[in-house]
């Protein structure tokens, strides 16, 4: 339930960070202002005895996050890919949150599998290992099918995970309400909408049938992508709390020493991760939205293997075009066009000055170009971008939350493989190809063709639509009838004519 009782949960959050010694380290790593550091320590210290103790064998921040539960662990996973934000040492400490959390017992896992599949585990699998990876929501076991002898990966949800997530989500909603009440300026960031979006993503991740469907769709979209492969879902051995896929052999993408020993080009791998993500987002509008090192491997042949499809992002065609134009504008350093796209899409209120906004964007983008990528602080860049968006009244775009978050994560993965990977240089060919296909003359013809198909489907219904329009017209006051009638006739006429012209062009090969 969402209410004041969630204050207790938030107090325990601060108390846990203080008790485990994580408060100071976290604020130092984030380079928080001194005033915030002092205030946080002073407010949390009296309640430190209420905090969770956590595992004393873990580093302080990792210890606090794991003690607080799965929602906090998800946040820690994101930070583990951002050494430029939290520092190399802390990013390395947080890496264990990706797939090295304490597992639950093998007996509990086997019971869940038997309940889900309706058969004892030893009838389904001739071999069933201890957990090989354990994350915030589920853990994975390596097994061998009893009928075919094939090696598979069996993913099982943690017992009670649904209740644990809901408890944290309720506390986050309460925190968002408090923030909006105390700081009206924060409402433009739409904190409640952000939490609502996060809740939807998490609920989808807690049903492994949806993950299996996502994996299947993703595999169909990417079957021709060079240097990329996915394990196949075994539907007959999957359900709501259990998911079975082919076993993926490969080196963890986060193990740089192992990649070097195997002779892989880490810079090329980092660039490919970025380009694959952009290609999936722009070309397909359906992308892996949890692409941290714990969900990626490198096959012996150099292919990147992705798995764990619980969080997938989807963006419609219009949003993809807007996003591509913004990226393309930054790449070309055409800040005026980037500003215009923001206004055309409604991202910035029309009352703002487009030229002034373009100048502000230039201050964000120019430091990127002509600079060694290893010297670019994404943390400072994002802080300045936040100031710009606040100044021009931009609201948080909830439909882009996953896209923006994944872009940050993927860049962090690429930079961890090679610090000099530059997102703008790597993105350029992918974005240019998308622009040519989706925004040029060919795209216009494609849009017209789609319009013709829609009009064609409504063709048999045109007489009924006209009759319904006449009936509604009789209910309109006399003084506005001529104007409204002319508008509807013009709409129907133009639609029929446009459909006929496009059909003729398509039929004759234009």
Would you please indicate which residues are annotated as catalytic (active-site) residues? 290
Contact 329, 335 (CB under 8 A): yes
CA-atom Rg of the chain in angstroms: 26
3-state secondary structure of 314: strand
Residue 439 CB partners (closer than 8 Å, separation 6+): 321, 324, 325
Closest CA to 139 of 117, 121, 112, 115: 112
Rounded Cα distance, 509 and 464, in Å = 32
Strand segments (E) across 436-509 = none
Phi and psi at 144, nearest 5°, equal -125, 130
Angle at 448 between CA 446 and CA 452, to 5 degrees: 115
Q: Which two tokens stand for residue 505?
A: 């062009």
**Cβ–Cβ under 8 Å, residues 157 and 209:** no
b or e along 200-218 (b: 16 or more beta carbons within 10 Å of the residue's beta carbon)?
ebbeebbbbebbbbbbeeb
CA distance 143 to 236: 15
Residue 81, phi then psi, degrees to nearest 5:
-95, 5
Q: Is the dihedral of CA 33, 36, 42, 48 positive or negative?
A: negative
CB 192 within 8 A of CB 177: yes
374: tokens are 């290893």
What is d(CA 418, CA 422) in angstroms, rounded to the nearest whole number?
10
Residue 99 and residue 38: Cα distance in Å, rounded? 34
Residue 135 DSSP symbol? -
b/e map 123-160, b = 16+ CB within 10 Å: ebbeebeebebbbbbbbbbbbebeeeeeebbbbbbbee
Q: Can you list the alpha helix ranges (DSSP code H) found in 366-440?
A: 378-391, 401-417, 423-438
């Amino acid at each position: 339930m969402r209410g004041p009782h969630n204050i207790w949960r938030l107090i325990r959050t601060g108390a846990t960070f203080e008790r485990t010694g994580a408060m100071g380290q976290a604020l130092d790593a984030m380079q928080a202002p001194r005033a915030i550091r002092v205030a946080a320590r002073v407010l949390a210290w009296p309640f430190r005895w209420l905090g969770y103790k956590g595992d004393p064998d873990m580093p302080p921040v990792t210890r606090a996050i794991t003690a607080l539960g799965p929602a906090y662990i998800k946040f820690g996973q994101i930070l583990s890919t951002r050494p430029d934000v939290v520092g190399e040492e802390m990013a390395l400490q947080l890496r264990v949150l990706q797939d090295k959390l304490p597992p639950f017992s093998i007996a509990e896992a086997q019971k869940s599998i038997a309940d889900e599949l309706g058969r004892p585990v030893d009838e389904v699998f001739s071999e069933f290992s201890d957990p090989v990876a354990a994350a915030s929501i589920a853990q994975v076991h390596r097994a061998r099918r009893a009928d075919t002898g094939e090696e598979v990966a069996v993913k099982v949800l943690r017992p009670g995970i649904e209740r644990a997530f809901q408890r944290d989500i309720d506390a986050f909603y309460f925190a968002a309400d408090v923030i909006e009440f105390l700081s009206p300026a924060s409402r433009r960031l739409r904190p409640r909408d952000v939490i609502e979006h996060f809740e939807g993503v998490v609920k989808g991740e807690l049903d492994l049938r949806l993950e299996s469907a996502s994996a299947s769709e993703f595999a169909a979209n990417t079957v021709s992508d060079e240097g990329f492969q996915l394990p196949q879902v075994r539907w007959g051995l999957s359900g709501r709390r259990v998911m079975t896929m082919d076993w993926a052999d490969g080196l963890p993408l986060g193990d740089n020493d192992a990649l070097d020993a195997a002779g892989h080009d880490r810079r090329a791998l980092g660039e490919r991760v970025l380009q694959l993500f952009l290609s999936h987002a722009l070309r397909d509008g359906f992308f892996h939205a949890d692409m941290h090192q714990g969900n990626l491997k490198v096959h012996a042949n150099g292919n990147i293997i992705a798995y764990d499809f619980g969080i997938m992002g989807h963006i419609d065609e219009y949003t993809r075009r807007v996003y591509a134009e913004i990226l393309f504008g930054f790449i070309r350093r055409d800040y005026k066009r980037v500003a215009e796209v923001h206004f055309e899409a409604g991202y910035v209120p029309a009352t703002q000055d487009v030229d002034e906004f373009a100048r502000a964007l230039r201050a964000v983008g120019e430091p990127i170009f002509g600079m060694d990528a290893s010297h670019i602080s994404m943390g400072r860049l994002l802080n300045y971008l936040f100031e710009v968006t606040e100044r021009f009244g931009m609201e948080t775009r909830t439909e882009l939350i996953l896209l923006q978050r994944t872009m940050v994560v993927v860049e962090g993965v690429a930079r961890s493989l090679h610090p000099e990977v530059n997102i703008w240089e790597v993105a350029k060919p992918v974005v240019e190809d998308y622009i040519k296909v989706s925004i040029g003359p060919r795209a216009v013809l494609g849009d017209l063709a789609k319009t013709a198909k829609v009009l064609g489907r409504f063709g048999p219904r045109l007489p009924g639509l006209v009759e319904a329009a006449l009936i509604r017209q009789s209910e309109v006051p006399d003084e506005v009838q001529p104007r409204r009638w002319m508008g509807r006739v013009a709409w129907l006429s133009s639609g029929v004519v446009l459909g006929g012209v496009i059909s003729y062009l398509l039929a004759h090969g234009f």
